[in-house]
Amino acid sequence: MLGISNRGLAKLVSMFKHGDIELDEVPGTRVHEEIVHKHFDSVATHLEIRCSSTRLDTLELAQPHKLMQLLVAENAAIADDYYSAARACSPSMQAPWNLVVAYDEFTPSDSLKPNKMHKKSMCVYFSFMELMDNDGWLADAKWIPFAIARTATHLSCGFSPYLRALVHCLVFGDAESDFVRLGAPVQSDGRDPILIFARLHAIISDADGLRAGYAWKGFRALRCCLKHSNAVANNSDLAHRRPGFVEITNADPSLFIRTSIEEIDEIVDTLIAFRGSPTALGKLETGLGFAKSEYGLLADRSLRRHVGPSRSLIDVAHFDWMHCALQDCIFVTEANALFRQIGGTVIADIKAFLRDTPWQFPSSTNRNCRALHRIFDEWRSSTDGGIKCGCSEALCLFMVLNCWVEEHVLGPASTPFKESFRAMAKVISILLATKRRKMSMTDGAARLASAHRSYYRAHIAAYGDEHVKPKMHYIFDIAEQFKEFVRWCVLDMFVVERLHQTVRDIARLVDYTGRWERSILSAVINKKLETTESRHGLHGRIHQSELFPGVQCARSIGSQPNLGVDDVVFWDDLLCCGIIQACCKEGDELFIIIAAFQQVSISSSFCSRWLRTPDAYVVRRPSSVVPACAWRCEGDLFIVLSYLGC
Ligand SMILES: [Zn+2]
């Protein structure tokens, strides 16, 4: 292209503009095209999706089994994951692996491009719980993105028929392989093949995603919980009329009744059979909590049988804790209510506190947290004047705001507002402690339900039930979900947010909309195939130690989460604290060298003060330390925030 004349270039531009040529047809682009799309094209398939009796869509995607085979065959690191998981737990028809599907909508990040909204897309990934490592981490690299669909061009009939077709295709495969009867073979060069059998265990998304995927009416319906059939909307004037029904403001988890398999089947079948007027249908849908979706996920009888006989497709749905607890629910609701209660210059004060106090954050989160004060910028706040932020930001803000509230607002005297805020902080701390495996799933489930019950009561005592949203109730569902994951650990959408980042970076560069899905998936798959960096190894430039031959050092290390030099970490149940000096590897062993601190005082359940002491070093395994949430230093004094004080 560099040698092309101005006239040639003008001709080319005009061809593109007038749309009379596909990119593939431009002379000279064929070679590039073959390299870029080689892998995707080798596993591509066209899936027919029945959206209505008159509409049949086609989506180009990567056939999930073939894509999995390609990744295991071509990428040694991915192959190692599968082979070691199969050694620990060999998949068979009688003992299938547990398949998890995650999806979420994302908007390509370039807000200055006019066609941005046209590319708002749903991205679907799958993985197996058996691939989770000993630290309870289902790493990003273990998720396989196999389908993407633009909302504007594909999803005008809703996402449920798409989710049905995609999950069906994933589970039941095609004539060559499936996860149920034949198994899906994977093989790495020189090793025996593994035949993978799997059963659908969980479908995870945020509440909006589940609403779209399940054709569920969401929190606007009378029955506003996907999983509890007797939980009805606040002030709906229904609960007292029917025995056994409770409003969403009820804080007693023992009163909620799970929607049974028969009940959900009956709801779906009744809706499909309904032939009345649109108004009557609307009323029926609001009452039952689901929309009529003849070709939606819940109508798929083979999937219903597949997850049964003791579970329904509703039981498979998995609420994401971080969306329910951090981003747009209890943390944000509680913070906004408190700000309104304090009033005056509170927002400006917090903004100044965040901007002027040199808080530092772990290297794994730093990118999102450097400018926390920007959350309070006018142009970012939501229409009702409250705060609005992403999940990673919310997590950092939660900690620092906790500290600010304790130092500047709460004071020694107890007030209902203070109790409510503290009760909310405890709920989130339990969620985080369970996620970090500092608490067992069984213990976490019990403590979460009890803490959330206390929070409900404290919140209603302080503010009434005005701010109680159905999303607040979903934390009770999350406590129940923990019990279904006792063998593993907390599954959440942080991983999907990170996976989206890769897709978003690629989507930003793709302007060609002819076969957009293919362009994106090609690049995503190529990137997955190229990733050879061991997730549990050293990251970045590696040096050989001069002092200790055989020891390699680097600035960061792959762990859960990644750790880096200058990160403050805790170990021994938060009794010890220090700052990482080096990340090292000797043979297969990974370790970190930490300059240990001496404790000065404990300011609150999550804030402590430490002094740096000269020449006190310790060596620890990455899995045995917990990164601090945030810290700031005043000379040799470190003020450190942890989120495990529960
Ligand atoms: Zn519920």
pLDDT of residue 161: 92
pLDDT of residue 369: 66
Whether the predicted pLDDT of 13 surpasses 70: no
CA distance 95 to 604: 47
Task: Over range 13-19, report the average pLDDT.
Answer: 64
pLDDT of residue 28: 53
CA of 223 to the centre of ligand 1 (A): 10
pLDDT of residue 83: 93
CA of 202 to the centre of ligand 1 (A): 16
Same-domain status, 78 and 199: yes
Same-domain status, 596 and 474: no
The answer to whether position 118 is within a domain reads yes
Cis previous bond, 278, omega within 30: no
CA of 227 to the centre of ligand 1 (A): 5
CA of 492 to the centre of ligand 1 (A): 18
pLDDT of residue 499: 81
The share of the chain scoring above pLDDT 90, in percent, equals 17
The answer to whether position 461 is within a domain reads yes
CA of 399 to the centre of ligand 1 (A): 27
Express each pLDDT in 433-461 by its tens digit. 888 787 888 999 999 999 999 999 999 99
The answer to whether position 547 is within a domain reads yes
Q: How confident is the model at residue 1 (pLDDT cuts 50, 70, 90)?
A: low
CA of 449 to the centre of ligand 1 (A): 12
Give the Cα-Cα-Cα angle 281, 248, 269 (nearest 5 degrees): 30
Same-domain status, 188 and 234: no
pLDDT of residue 455: 93
**DSSP H helix total and E strand total for the chain:** 21, 23
The answer to whether position 121 is within a domain reads yes
CA of 63 to the centre of ligand 1 (A): 34
Task: Over range 538-545, report the average pLDDT.
Answer: 77
Whether the predicted pLDDT of 613 surpasses 60: yes
Mean pLDDT, the chain, rounded, equals 82
pLDDT of residue 292: 86
CA of 12 to the centre of ligand 1 (A): 57
Do 304 and 313 meet the contact criterion of CB atoms below 8 Å apart? yes
CA of 229 to the centre of ligand 1 (A): 8
CA distance 500 to 522: 15
CA of 226 to the centre of ligand 1 (A): 6
CA distance 118 to 132: 36
pLDDT of residue 386: 66
Whether the predicted pLDDT of 622 surpasses 60: yes
Same-domain status, 87 and 146: yes
CA of 96 to the centre of ligand 1 (A): 28
**pLDDT higher at 326 or 145:** 145
The answer to whether position 305 is within a domain reads no
pLDDT of residue 165: 93
Do 394 and 326 meet the contact criterion of CB atoms below 8 Å apart? yes
The answer to whether position 257 is within a domain reads yes
CA of 472 to the centre of ligand 1 (A): 10
Number of domains the chain contains = 5
CA of 532 to the centre of ligand 1 (A): 42
CA of 552 to the centre of ligand 1 (A): 50
Same-domain status, 255 and 141: no
CA of 499 to the centre of ligand 1 (A): 28
CA of 476 to the centre of ligand 1 (A): 6
The answer to whether position 451 is within a domain reads yes
CA of 441 to the centre of ligand 1 (A): 19
Express each pLDDT in 216-255 by its tens digit. 887 777 888 888 888 877 776 666 667 778 888 888 888 8
CA of 443 to the centre of ligand 1 (A): 20
CA of 605 to the centre of ligand 1 (A): 30
CA of 101 to the centre of ligand 1 (A): 21
CA of 212 to the centre of ligand 1 (A): 17
Whether the predicted pLDDT of 549 surpasses 60: yes
Same-domain status, 103 and 92: yes
Whether the predicted pLDDT of 646 surpasses 50: no
The share of the chain scoring above pLDDT 70, in percent, equals 87
CA of 208 to the centre of ligand 1 (A): 15
State which residues form the domain around 603.
Answer: 538-641
CA of 474 to the centre of ligand 1 (A): 5
CA of 245 to the centre of ligand 1 (A): 12
CA of 457 to the centre of ligand 1 (A): 17
Whether the predicted pLDDT of 402 surpasses 70: yes
pLDDT of residue 110: 59
CA of 231 to the centre of ligand 1 (A): 7
CA of 232 to the centre of ligand 1 (A): 10
Q: Which two tokens stand for residue 505?
A: 């970076």
Same-domain status, 234 and 333: no
Same-domain status, 251 and 335: no
Do 478 and 225 meet the contact criterion of CB atoms below 8 Å apart? no
CA of 224 to the centre of ligand 1 (A): 8
Burial of 147 (0-12, 13-18, 19+ CB in 10 A): buried
Output the furthest CA–CA distance in the chain (Å, rounded): 82
Same-domain status, 450 and 562: no
pLDDT of residue 427: 92
Task: For CA atoms 40, 41, 43, 47, give the dihedral sign.
Answer: positive
CA of 256 to the centre of ligand 1 (A): 7
Whether the predicted pLDDT of 98 surpasses 90: yes
Same-domain status, 465 and 578: no
CA of 168 to the centre of ligand 1 (A): 26
Task: Over range 388-406, report the average pLDDT.
Answer: 79
CA of 120 to the centre of ligand 1 (A): 29
CA of 258 to the centre of ligand 1 (A): 8
CA of 478 to the centre of ligand 1 (A): 9
Q: Which two tokens stand for residue 426?
A: 């405890």
pLDDT of residue 195: 92
Same-domain status, 357 and 479: yes
Give the Cα-Cα-Cα angle 203, 207, 209 (nearest 5 degrees): 60
**Residue that terminates a domain, selected from 292, 310, 340:** 292
**Residue that terminates a domain, selected from 237, 270, 292:** 292
Question: Would you list the DSSP string of 459-527?
Answer: HHHHHTTTT--HHHHHHHHHHHHHHHTTTS----THHHHHHHHHHHHHHHH----TTHHHHHHHHHHHH
Same-domain status, 288 and 327: no
pLDDT of residue 25: 53
The answer to whether position 302 is within a domain reads no
Q: How confident is the model at residue 22 (pLDDT cuts 50, 70, 90)?
A: low
CA of 617 to the centre of ligand 1 (A): 49
Task: Over range 203-227, report the average pLDDT.
Answer: 85
Please state the pTM of the whole predicted model.
0.84
Whether the predicted pLDDT of 379 surpasses 70: no
Task: Over range 519-545, report the average pLDDT.
Answer: 77
Task: Over range 382-389, report the average pLDDT.
Answer: 63
CA of 535 to the centre of ligand 1 (A): 36
pLDDT of residue 64: 92
Q: How confident is the model at residue 53 (pLDDT cuts 50, 70, 90)?
A: confident
CA of 228 to the centre of ligand 1 (A): 4
Q: Which two tokens stand for residue 514?
A: 């002819």
**Residue that terminates a domain, selected from 292, 312, 338:** 292
CA of 221 to the centre of ligand 1 (A): 13
CA of 129 to the centre of ligand 1 (A): 24
CA of 319 to the centre of ligand 1 (A): 10
- Residue 468 Ramachandran class (φ > 0 left, ψ -120 to 50 alpha, else beta): beta
Express each pLDDT in 24-37 by its tens digit. 555 555 556 667 78
